[in-house]
Structure 1
Amino acid sequence: MMMFVIFIALVAMVCINVPIAIALALAAVLAVFISDGGAALVTIALDMYNGARSFSLIAIPMFVLAGAIMNATGITRRLIAFVSAVIGFVRGGLAMVNVGVSLFFAEISGSAVADVAAMGSIIIPEMKKRGYPAPFAAAITSSSASLAIIIPPSIPMILYAVAAGTSIEQLFVAGIVPGLIGAAGLMGVAYYYAVKYNLPMEEAFNLRQLRRTFVEALPTFSLPVIILGGIFGGFVTATEGAGLAVVAAILVGIWYREVDWRQLKQAMLEGGIQTAVVMLLVAASILMGSYLTQARVPQQLAAGILDITSNQYLILLILNVFFLIIGFFLHSAAAIILVVPVIVPLIQQAGIDPVHFGLVVTLNLAIGQQTPPVASVLITACSIAKANIWEVSKANLPFVGVLLFVLLLCTYVPAVPMFLVEYFYR
């Protein structure tokens, strides 16, 4: 009965546009008050504060800031120039450049929204100028940006690791192969449509141009080497690696001597707002998580599903459908913080590796970023391209199909994401 009251209160507040973090906190306060009385509310503020001060969560604003610095210091523009010199001569090459640069940018920012905002503002107008339809340009930019939450370092992976109590570094390693497979699939679809609709080629391959852009972008290539090399080599934690990313991005920016201070200030403000939203969600989830644990809701859910089936693959199928559905309505951070603590006892009892499941959750939410009505990444791309969201969604279907293929592959062939984890850590 109490869970029904909480659910109704939460839905009602969301329907009247109360921010989900505030709605979650108020619903939790209501549940605690009804269950334990007013005296139990004394420590709520302290509980929320303690929940949001996890050391691992410091990585989130650091990676967001690193992405902002990259975009304000000409790093993104140089990346686009280099990747264009490498593959721009292929028909539809600019669409493949889009995927390639997103793949690289993902290794620094960890945020799909930051990726599409930084990349899209540069490459979407250029694609439209070259004759690419606006819906196609927005679709490929949006889908390739979702690689940012598959390729390490990934902010949703950090949130999952904190919520599930598992290793951030192992999650990062598990995302490498699926991210590369997803990038290859997106490029393949882009090439198919480029040939079918005779999309333009860029200038012919030019070795001198390739050499020049490589030299200009060379300091940029040090960023993923320093950050991911430090994390995977065991020299720094993921949180320390995030701080290292900021320092490295600043040094590269100083090297280029090209800083757009207005753009940097705006990006830092937006990043601060995004971080505040996530931290408030984390703090609110601590209250709800404490109540649910006390009410033994996760254990009851696990028992209910295990009464239906104990087969790991069927359980993963049920959870895949569940996460795909909530991805329609919740941002990735909110979905992870709300749902993962409830699901963890189930995957533990079913014998599912929490690192493997973390990648499955992340892939589901990457797809959710492409599916209205929420679709934060898709909406950002549509805004930049000035394209209708439903036309972009239609053009995006083949690219979403690639992400679904990667999801199913990683769900039912665990060796795909896990063999590197097994090799390095187990």
Structure 2
Amino acid sequence: MDWVDNHLELFSILILFGTLFALLVLGTSIAVGLAFSGILTLSLQVDIAQLFSTMGEKLFNGLDSFGFLALPFFVLAGNIMNQAGIARRLIDFAMLLGRRIPGSLWQTNALANMLFGSLSGSGIAAATAIGGIVTPIAREEKYDMPITTAVNAASAPCGMLIPPSGALIVYSLITGGSASIVALFLAGYVPGIIMGAAVMAVAYVYARKRKYATDKSPYLMSEVTRTFLRAAPSLMLVVVVIGGIVMGVFTATEGSGIAVLYSFILALFYRSLTPKTLLKVLIETAAATGIILFLIACSNLMSWSMTFASIPDTIGEMLTSLSDNKYVILLLINVALLVVGVFMDMAPAQLIFTPIFYPVVTAMGVDPVHFGVLMVYNLSMGVVTPPVGTVLFVSCSVSGEKITKVIGPLLPIFAVQILGLLLITFVPALSLTLPRLFGV
């Protein structure tokens, strides 16, 4: 008992993470694992009489923020846009942009995922909608199907960085608004494009090796105009919402409501929204946001327990004992998050590790916006890696390819994306130039 009292911070770390991972191995839901690990850690330092009242207070306080409204509204807007049938219009537009590059269909797939992901904010939605259209065409044109699946899977998460992004909103809320949603949205553009460009670069090499023909037909003004006008109403969502937020016309939360209104009007204009489909969209949105918000509430309890037990300070001391160079620390954190992303989905990984690493890096002078973009870029790669690679599973189910055949083509893409991650890590200006340019 004396050893526990003398090494309370270290023992708290063992209890916290030991309980969490034991419960996850037993198949407990992540939210319950977060809550119980926080409660047990808190019980080391709080009387049982106060424990349950403190627990309830922290659970409810975790959601007591007006900013949380932005999350369900953006999810709803994305779901409505998915239902509006915009994928085909974006595919045509992306095909126009990328048709002269070798492997034009792969380039189209990557570009369309970047465009569609920025509207839906969901890697799974992008992989399903865009992959569902591209896959039959790729099979008909004799494209290599494992590579096609890999390109679709690796480019789908770009929308988690290119705003409006739910992952960036969650990060902002976890940090208590220290990294503003507006700044994070602006900071996500260049890293999101880098992630997509990495896929396109590897696809280019694959196409050149296989000597795929390119479309060298001239661009006709009538074709360009028609294709752009078909895609423009969907793309205007980003212009209206992000432009309005950046220019200060409305807040991010108000912008999320405008995004819902705009997407609803667009769906009615396309005649793709019936009362039945609207009800389905509302139910899916309620289920998705309910899960995320419950995760956030349980995460807040765990985060408060960690802070109360000085766990972030202890881990920070461990990291800084290895090096006092912030870029070395960021490199170590990147490696840790890449490993975590293999075994854990985006939301729980953010909720668990942001409160741990955030105080460490900000104390060393790392910009909160820069670190948020790093985390989301890093963990976005995790949704494409088995055994928890949800986007990879969806892409494989869409194309009918086995995961074992897709892993090989994915590895070079991951290698280039990791180079992009290092570039963003060591050149903060790639993330911070746009926010600073707009003064946010």
In the other structure, the counterpart of 2:186 is: 173
2:313 maps to amino acid: Q
Choose the corresponding residue for 1:97, options 97, 108, 127: 108
- Give a deviation string over 1:146-188, Cα, whole Å, max 9, x none: 1112212211111111112321111111111222233333222
2:251 is the counterpart of 1:241: no
Change (3 A) 1:206 1:23: same
Choose the corresponding residue for 1:212, options 205, 220, 226: 226
SS in structure 1 at match of 2:411: helix
2:182 maps to amino acid: E
Change (3 A) 1:54 1:267: same
**Are the equivalent residues in 2 in contact too, given 1:14–1:23 (CA < 8 A)?**
yes
2:88 is the counterpart of 1:77: yes
Aligned partners of 1:19 and 1:351: how far apart in 2? 35
Shifted more, 224-233 versus 262-271: the winner is 262-271
In the other structure, the counterpart of 1:10 is: 20
Structure 1 spans left out of the alignment, 5+ residues:
none
Aligned partners of 2:39 and 2:311: how far apart in 1? 17
In the other structure, the counterpart of 1:416 is: 430
**Are the equivalent residues in 1 in contact too, given 2:12–2:311 (CA < 8 A)?**
no
**Are the equivalent residues in 2 in contact too, given 1:227–1:241 (CA < 8 A)?**
yes
SS in structure 2 at match of 1:328: helix
In the other structure, the counterpart of 1:185 is: 198
Q: What is the CA distance between 1:89 and its match in structure 2?
A: 4.9
Choose the corresponding residue for 1:146, options 132, 136, 157: 157
1:189 maps to amino acid: V
Shifted more, 279-288 versus 203-212: the winner is 203-212
TM-score of the aligned structures, taking structure 1 as reference length:
0.93
2:328 is the counterpart of 1:314: yes
In the other structure, the counterpart of 1:60 is: 71
2:137 is the counterpart of 1:126: yes
RMSD: 2.2
Aligned partners of 2:362 and 2:76: how far apart in 1? 35
Shifted more, 292-301 versus 98-107: the winner is 98-107
**Are the equivalent residues in 2 in contact too, given 1:131–1:200 (CA < 8 A)?**
no
**Aligned 1:211-230 pairs, distance under 5 A:** 211-230=225-244
Q: What is the CA distance between 1:261 and its match in structure 2?
A: 6.2
Aligned partners of 1:348 and 1:332: how far apart in 2? 21
SS in structure 2 at match of 1:175: helix
SS in structure 2 at match of 1:187: helix
2:47 maps to amino acid: G
Choose the corresponding residue for 1:19, options 22, 29, 50: 29
Aligned partners of 2:410 and 2:281: how far apart in 1? 27
**Are the equivalent residues in 2 in contact too, given 1:44–1:287 (CA < 8 A)?**
yes
2:294 maps to amino acid: L
**Are the equivalent residues in 1 in contact too, given 2:39–2:305 (CA < 8 A)?**
no
**Are the equivalent residues in 1 in contact too, given 2:340–2:349 (CA < 8 A)?**
yes
**Aligned 1:25-424 pairs, distance under 5 A:** 25-39=35-49, 40-165=51-176, 166-199=179-212, 201=214, 204-205=217-218, 207=220, 208-259=222-273, 265-424=279-438
Structure 2 spans left out of the alignment, 5+ residues:
1-10
Change (3 A) 1:308 1:181: closer
SS in structure 1 at match of 2:438: helix
Aligned partners of 1:238 and 1:121: how far apart in 2? 32
TM-score of the aligned structures, taking structure 2 as reference length:
0.90
- Give a deviation string over 1:276-318, Cα, whole Å, max 9, x none: 2211111111111111111111112212222332111111111
Aligned partners of 1:210 and 1:114: how far apart in 2? 27
Change (3 A) 1:289 1:385: same
1:77 maps to amino acid: R
Shifted more, 257-266 versus 82-91: the winner is 257-266
Aligned partners of 1:182 and 1:348: how far apart in 2? 25
Change (3 A) 1:66 1:316: same
Change (3 A) 1:384 1:202: farther
**Are the equivalent residues in 2 in contact too, given 1:98–1:141 (CA < 8 A)?**
yes
Aligned partners of 1:91 and 1:125: how far apart in 2? 19
Change (3 A) 1:65 1:118: farther
Aligned partners of 1:107 and 1:236: how far apart in 2? 20
**Are the equivalent residues in 2 in contact too, given 1:112–1:149 (CA < 8 A)?**
yes
Aligned partners of 1:193 and 1:270: how far apart in 2? 38
**Are the equivalent residues in 1 in contact too, given 2:82–2:125 (CA < 8 A)?**
no
- Give a deviation string over 1:224-261, Cα, whole Å, max 9, x none: 11011112112122222222111111111222223366
Change (3 A) 1:261 1:187: farther
Aligned partners of 1:61 and 1:237: how far apart in 2? 15
Q: What is the CA distance between 1:115 and its match in structure 2?
A: 2.1
Aligned partners of 1:83 and 1:346: how far apart in 2? 41
Change (3 A) 1:124 1:62: farther
